[in-house]
């Protein structure tokens, strides 16, 4: 897979400088990594594209090409696939649409292309996909509008458009990715293959997936079950309703399948299932940044669980409500304090620190939700510093910050972000992510 995800040479069939075109988008993205690899543009009608020499055909390039990206009309794709095989390219991405997602004729063409590459043992991504991105090696073999920052989340998506929007969101909210793959119609490499690739990638800590269909369910359960022993997989499944299933068929030529069957498969594989795009990345970022909570004695009936620390009673109550809804157990705090522990509105940073340390020292508590409302005595930046320092002292007990506020709170929130923490703005979100961090195998997010 090195030739696919870290190629030394890339050729784009369908390169163009036409404004607003897919081909130009891929050209610009490939040039982002021009210091890392050789790049060849193929277009029989242009001598140069963005001041770079073009070739008439893949047959005209004397060097062996690691990766070929194809972005031409579907009716022309089969011929260039044959040419790619004749010169022994290392891997291929077909961006072009117009295959099985359009019906019977497209499905026949897709099968022919699949057989061409299978016969020659050449890895194929697509067709009908956005492409792939590996930020670490500056590879953007896609027509995404931007290249994301480097991070530790691998995002595998049957939808390319969703990747575009997620990249835009990630640049605003300052999170990154280890790999991004739009796998489209899966004529060659499948979701199961990409799960294995992400698992083998040392830069990937968490695998996030958007899917509409699993083509080989038994293989998926086997692969995912092995991966989730060491890396979490979070999945958002599209096409759960009747209307959604109809939309899926025209989107990626997939059969959405029964919701209960998929949820059972996810449970059996130890996968976290979420219901929204927002939750997909809340879960991913939480599991990327926070330690998994030690479940301790919780399954032996002892009162182990999370503690909620707050300087505002209402926030503590609402957070406790959400914890209850998501099945997040609250521990019994030793001493006279209740859980949530309200240290009152005039709590200084020193009081927060003493209370936080007191909670984390208790064996029955395996994580703390640190709630902060903005009062006269509140120092958001100092409270953020306390969280960062204390997390280092208790590396196996997650601290989840819930800093409510805006302008004044921002200094604290920014400090948390700078130091690798995800700051939450809603009690519902922090409770859900507490569930993710303590999720026993075989349970969904609800």
Neighbours of 291 (CB within 10 A): 16
Average pLDDT rounded to a whole number, residues 256-285: 89
Confidence of residue 1 (pLDDT cuts 50, 70, 90): confident
The pLDDT of residue 292 is 83
Token reading at 107: 């499905």
pLDDT at 253 over 70: no
The pLDDT of residue 439 is 55
Instruction: Name the least confident of 145-149, 164-168, 212-216, 219-223.
Output: 212-216
Token reading at 242: 């009747």
Residues 6+ apart with CB under 8 A from 4: 66, 67, 90, 91, 93, 123, 125, 132
The pLDDT of residue 258 is 74
Q: What is the pLDDT of residues 29-40, one digit of tens each?
A: 999 999 999 999
> What does the alpha-carbon distance between residue 84 and residue 91 come to, in Å, rounded to a whole number?
9
The pLDDT of residue 259 is 80
Residues 6+ apart with CB under 8 A from 277: 162, 166, 210, 236
154 in the Ramachandran plot: left (φ > 0), alpha (ψ -120 to 50) or beta? beta
Token reading at 445: 């997010």
Average pLDDT rounded to a whole number, residues 341-358: 97
C-alpha 24: how far from chain center: 26
Calculate helix-pair angle for 427-437, 277-289, nearest 10 degrees: 60
The pLDDT of residue 241 is 57
Question: How high is the mean pLDDT of the chain?
Answer: 92
Q: Which domains does the chain have, with CATH numbers?
A: 1-129 (3.40.50.720), 148-289 (3.40.50.261), 298-437 (3.40.50.261)
Average pLDDT rounded to a whole number, residues 385-410: 96
pLDDT at 303 over 70: no
Percent of the chain scoring above 90 in pLDDT: 84
**E strand spans, 354-419:** 365-372, 399-403
The pLDDT of residue 443 is 41
The length of the chain, given as a count of residues: 446
The pLDDT of residue 279 is 96
Strand, coil or helix: 336: coil
pLDDT at 2 over 70: yes
pTM: 0.91
Average pLDDT rounded to a whole number, residues 427-441: 86
Please spell the DSSP secondary structure of 263-275, one letter per residue: HHHHHHTT-EEES
Q: What is the pLDDT of residues 84-104, one digit of tens each?
A: 999 999 999 999 999 999 999
pLDDT at 442 over 80: no
Average pLDDT rounded to a whole number, residues 251-271: 75
Bond from prior residue into 127 cis (ω within 30 degrees of 0): yes
Average pLDDT rounded to a whole number, residues 439-446: 44
């Amino acid at each position: 897979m090195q030739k696919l995800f870290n190629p030394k040479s890339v050729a784009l069939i369908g390169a163009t400088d036409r404004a607003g075109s897919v081909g130009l988008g891929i050209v610009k993205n490939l040039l982002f990594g021009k210091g890392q690899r050789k790049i060849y543009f193929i277009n029989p009608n242009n001598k140069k594209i963005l001041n770079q020499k073009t070739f008439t055909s893949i047959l005209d390039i004397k060097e062996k090409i690691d990766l070929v990206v194809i972005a031409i009309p579907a009716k022309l794709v089969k011929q260039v696939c044959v040419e790619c095989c004749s010169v022994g390219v290392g891997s291929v991405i077909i961006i072009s649409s117009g295959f099985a997602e359009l019906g019977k004729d497209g499905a026949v063409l897709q099968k022919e292309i699949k057989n061409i590459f299978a016969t020659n043992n050449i890895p194929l991504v697509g067709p009908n996909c956005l492409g792939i991105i590996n930020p670490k090696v500056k590879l953007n073999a896609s027509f995404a509008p931007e290249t994301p920052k480097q991070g530790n989340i691998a995002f595998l998506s049957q939808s390319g458009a969703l990747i575009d929007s997620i990249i835009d969101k990630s640049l605003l909210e300052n999170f990154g990715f280890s790999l991004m793959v739009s796998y489209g119609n899966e004529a060659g490499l499948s979701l199961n293959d990409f799960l294995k690739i992400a698992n083998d990638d040392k830069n990937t800590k968490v695998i996030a997936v958007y899917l509409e269909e699993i083509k080989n369910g038994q293989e998926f359960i086997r692969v995912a079950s092995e991966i989730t022993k060491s890396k979490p997989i979070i999945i958002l499944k599209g096409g759960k309703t009747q209307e959604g299933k109809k939309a899926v068929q025209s989107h990626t030529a997939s059969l959405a399948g029964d919701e209960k069957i998929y949820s059972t498969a996810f449970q059996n594989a130890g996968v976290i299932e979420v219901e929204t795009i927002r939750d997909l990345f809340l879960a991913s970022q939480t599991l990327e940044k926070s330690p998994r909570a030690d479940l301790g004695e919780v399954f032996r009936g002892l009162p182990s669980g999370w503690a909620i620390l707050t300087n505002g009673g209402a926030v503590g109550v609402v957070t406790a409500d959400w914890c209850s809804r998501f099945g997040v157990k609250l521990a019994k705090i030793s001493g006279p304090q209740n859980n949530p522990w309200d240290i009152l509105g005039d709590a200084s940073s020193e009081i927060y620190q003493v209370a936080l340390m007191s909670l984390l020292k208790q064996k029955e508590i395996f994580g703390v939700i640190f709630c902060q409302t903005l009062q006269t005595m509140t120092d958001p930046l100092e409270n953020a510093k306390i969280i960062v320092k204390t997390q280092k002292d208790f590396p196996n007990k997650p601290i989840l910050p819930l800093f409510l506020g805006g302008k004044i709170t921002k200094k604290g929130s920014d400090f948390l972000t700078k130091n690798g923490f995800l700051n939450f703005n809603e009690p519902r979100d922090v409770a859900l992510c507490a569930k993710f961090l303590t999720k026993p195998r075989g349970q969904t997010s609800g």
